């Protein structure tokens, strides 16, 4: 072995050395959490370039995110200062570079524009406006989902690449029905083709089409990439895998790194079977297992191992700790959510007092709305915190909108009026707002008073002004009643103003969850007061909730979802809201989804380096509309591995175990077909109503548009629908 090779490999363990030096053929590396996979990837890149003498331009290194790609480039430059890392990028970045040189084959210019999600929504908005459609027909989110499903199902690229414009878009039989998904998809494709727009799905599918139709282009790029390595391989989708597989077929060198136990993106197209079956897809696959964990203490790893062994879709392995023993994993059960979050706050303060910087502590939760009670507790205890990849609860748009509606009832101030007057859209745009402002300025009155005066004028005749005025005036009358509950008042305003319907039509469940959580926060505030609370008192309290005095983010406790935390590590981790219906989510409908949810929990646990704290609470939950029960993931952990606190009665424990047993049985024995494909329109048959198409799902029921034109909501538990 050369001096260079020895220098590169000297800091690696035997398994890592095996991975780095396995340069030829198809190699699968099962890299457990904290096992040094990034070090292996970067060292292998340098090893191939320096020790084997392969030009870096012939090494394609695909990562999952731009952040990961930049980190890899940074590490490689320590060994190769002049290396620009031109082919260290995401799969979409690689496709973009290839298309810049090849897309002319599809009669597209190399100056094509890549659309992000906001651009896509702008395109849909244009389609809606031009064709008289509204969000009541389809939300943008569902349309984008439908477009994604369509592009994955049909060979649509020839529609774009035919310069004569004669090729029809395939698979759109209802494209002439103005309100159908097919109609919107067709219009979307037309606008794309006319403007030479490319979205993220197109980057992959255009590249695949070029490789399929032009053998010389395929061979050129196969020769270009003598070595291919793919990070986070457990998260690749079938089209992405098809792409890297095609590129590898000439030189037959592909190195994939990942961990099936951390596959948490199946909702985004990730297919765990690709990693699990890698040795069946290719011949003579070398598999290397990296199971030495350098991140966490043995206590934390034993809990993670104990949890994930309950999954069946995995490659069996137990992570082995390199570090010395530390503190035992702590599980706390609280009586109510508020007490759970105060327990977290108190433990954070204790850790800080013992010398742990606040920036070394993270609180992880399943969904963004779960941050609210944690934030409230931290504000109460004066603990600075920062939300990562999210917005502080009371700063979220929908929460500020709700508060503005309530302020209108108490203050009718200009700021609140400007915020809510056209949300949802009521036709009160710049011209009408200018008229309101002019009257208010001339008469020295508030904007709302001016709005009331102008409401009956011809200028506002064809707008939603009257509906808004009635909602506010009726709400103000209701607010003056001493017996009116603040939560009921918010409910009234959201319904009467049309804001609740607007959120539903937007189809953003996170925003709906946040509004539900605000109602829970109001209830907690009233309960804590122990006496009647006026609207003015509540609004004053909310106004005082501010993060203005927070220190910089690095000296704050980090709050984030588990998905945001993937790939990160923290000395101390708190995982909260470990309750049935919350974590695992109430939306889980089959065994495969529950296994993914368990993998999400595994990712959360393995972020911790020195200390892991798990918590849940009893009580009624406004999100699941039922009693809170401990998560099955707590019971999945060997009892001897965790230190417990908080009181759980035998009756409560028995209730939880019976619920989990029943749930596990139901997940493993589905009796009703799952038609969740509101996206493409699953065809079903009903014994009375005949044949129809599933258009959506809500509150445990399927919304079906039958061929006779009738729309019916059919309970999912009835079992009467049959797939055609």
- Residues marked active site are found at 37-38, 231-232, 262, 607
In the DSSP assignment, the letter for residue 129 is H
Q: What's the distance, CA 676 to chain centroid?
A: 18
Q: What is the largest CA-CA distance in the chain?
A: 89
Residue 622: closest CA among 499, 523, 533: 523
d(C-alpha 472, C-alpha 461), whole Å: 18
- CA angle 446/452/455 to nearest 5° reads 135
Could you give the residue ranges of the DSSP H alpha helices within 455-549? 465-479, 486-496, 499-506, 509-529, 535-544
Beta strand segments in 337-463, E: 361-365, 385-387
What lies within 8 Å, CB to CB, of 513 at 6+ separation is 367, 368, 369, 623
Torsions phi, psi for 372 (to 5 deg): -55, -55
3-state SS, residue 480: coil
DSSP for 537-596, please give it: HHHHHHHH---TT---GGGSEEEEEHHHHTT--EEEEEE---BTBBTTBTT--SHHHHHH
Residue 157: closest CA among 115, 133, 193: 193
- CA angle 232/235/239 to nearest 5° reads 115
Both tokens of 675, joined, read 């038609």
**Cis omega (within 30 of 0) for bond into 493:** no
Burial of 503 (0-12, 13-18, 19+ CB in 10 A): buried
d(C-alpha 578, C-alpha 615), whole Å: 6
395 with 413: CB under 8 angstroms? no
581 with 658: CB under 8 angstroms? no
Residue 258: closest CA among 238, 229, 284: 229
3-state SS, residue 456: coil
What lies within 8 Å, CB to CB, of 703 at 6+ separation is 678, 694, 695, 696, 697, 711, 712, 713
CB atoms within 10 A of CB 573: 28
């Amino acid at each position: 072995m050369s001096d260079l090779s020895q220098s590169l490999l000297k800091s690696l363990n035997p398994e890592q050395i095996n991975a780095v030096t396995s340069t030829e053929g198809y190699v699968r590396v099962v890299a457990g959490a904290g096992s040094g996979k990034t070090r292996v990837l970067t060292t292998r890149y340098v090893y191939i370039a320096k020790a084997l003498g392969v030009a870096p331009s012939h090494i394609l290194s695909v990562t999952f995110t731009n952040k990961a790609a930049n980190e890899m480039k940074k590490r490689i430059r320590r060994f190769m200062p002049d290396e620009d890392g031109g082919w260290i990028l995401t799969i979409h970045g690689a496709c973009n570079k290839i298309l810049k040189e090849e897309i002319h084959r599809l009669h597209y210019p190399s100056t094509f524009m890549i659309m992000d999600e906001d651009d896509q929504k702008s395109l849909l908005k244009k389609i809606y406006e031009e064709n008289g459609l509204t969000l009541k027909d389809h939300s943008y989110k569902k349309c984008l989902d439908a477009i994604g499903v369509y592009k994955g199902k049909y060979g649509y690229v020839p529609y774009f690449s035919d310069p004569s414009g004669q090729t029809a878009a395939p698979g759109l039989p209802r494209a002439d029905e103005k309100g159908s998904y097919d109609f919107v998809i067709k219009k979307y494709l037309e606008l794309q083709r006319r403007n030479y727009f490319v979205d993220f799905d197109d980057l992959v599918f255009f590249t695949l089409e070029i490789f399929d139709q032009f053998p010389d282009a395929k061979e050129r790029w196969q020769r270009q990439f003598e070595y291919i390595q793919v990070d986070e391989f457990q998260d690749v989708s079938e089209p992405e895998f098809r792409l890297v597989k095609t590129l590898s077929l000439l030189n037959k060198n592909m190195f994939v790194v990942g961990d099936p136990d951390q596959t948490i993106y199946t909702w985004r197209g990730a297919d765990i079977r690709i990693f699990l079956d890698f040795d069946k897809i290719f011949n003579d696959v070398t598999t290397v297992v990296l199971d030495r964990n350098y991140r966490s203490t043995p206590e934390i790893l034993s809990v993670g191992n104990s949890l994930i062994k309950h999954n069946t879709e995995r490659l069996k392995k137990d992570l082995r700790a390199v570090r010395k023993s530390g503190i035992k994993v702590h599980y706390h059960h609280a009586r109510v959510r508020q007490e759970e979050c105060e327990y977290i706050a108190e433990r954070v303060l204790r850790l800080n007092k013992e010398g742990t910087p606040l920036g070394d502590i993270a609180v992880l939760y399943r969904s963004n709305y779960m941050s609210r009670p944690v934030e409230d507790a931290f504000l109460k205890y004066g603990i600075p915190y920062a939300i990562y990849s999210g917005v502080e609860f009371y700063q979220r748009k929908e929460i500020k909108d709700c508060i503005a509606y309530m302020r209108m009832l108490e203050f009718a101030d200009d700021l609140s009026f400007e915020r809510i007057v056209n949300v949802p859209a009521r036709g009160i745009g710049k011209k009408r707002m200018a008229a309101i402002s002019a009257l208010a300025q001339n008469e020295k009155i508030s904007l709302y008073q001016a709005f009331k005066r102008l409401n009956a004028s011809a200028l506002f005749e064809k707008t939603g002004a009257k509906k808004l005025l009635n909602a506010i005036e009726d709400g103000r009358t209701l607010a003056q009643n001493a017996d009116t509950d603040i939560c009921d008042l918010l409910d009234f305003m959201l319904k009467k103003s049309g804001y609740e319907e607007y959120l539903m039509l937007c189809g953003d469940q996170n925003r709906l969850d946040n509004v539900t959580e605000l109602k829970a926060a109001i209830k907690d505030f009233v309960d804590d007061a122990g006496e009647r609370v006026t609207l003015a008192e509540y609004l004053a309290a909310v106004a005082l909730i501010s993060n203005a005095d927070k220190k910089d983010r690095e000296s704050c406790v980090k709050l984030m979802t588990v998905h945001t935390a993937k790939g990160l590590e923290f000395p101390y981790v708190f995982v909260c809201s470990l309750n049935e219906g919350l974590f695992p989510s109430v939306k889980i409908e089959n065994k495969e989804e529950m296994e993914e949810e368990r993998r999400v929990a595994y990712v959360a646990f393995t972020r911790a380096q020195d200390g892991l704290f798990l918590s849940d609470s009893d009580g009624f939950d406004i999100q699941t509309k039922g009693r809170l029960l401990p998560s099955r993931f707590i019971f999945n952990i060997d009892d001897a591995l965790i230190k417990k606190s908080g009181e759980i009665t035998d009756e409560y424990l028995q209730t939880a175990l019976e619920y989990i047993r029943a749930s596990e049985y139901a997940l493993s024995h589905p009796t009703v077909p799952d038609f969740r494909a509101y996206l493409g329109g699953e065809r079903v048959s009903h014994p009375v109503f005949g044949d129809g198409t599933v258009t959506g799902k809500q509150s445990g029921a399927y919304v079906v548009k039958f061929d006779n034109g009738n729309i019916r909501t059919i309970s999912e538990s009835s079992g009467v629908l049959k797939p055609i």
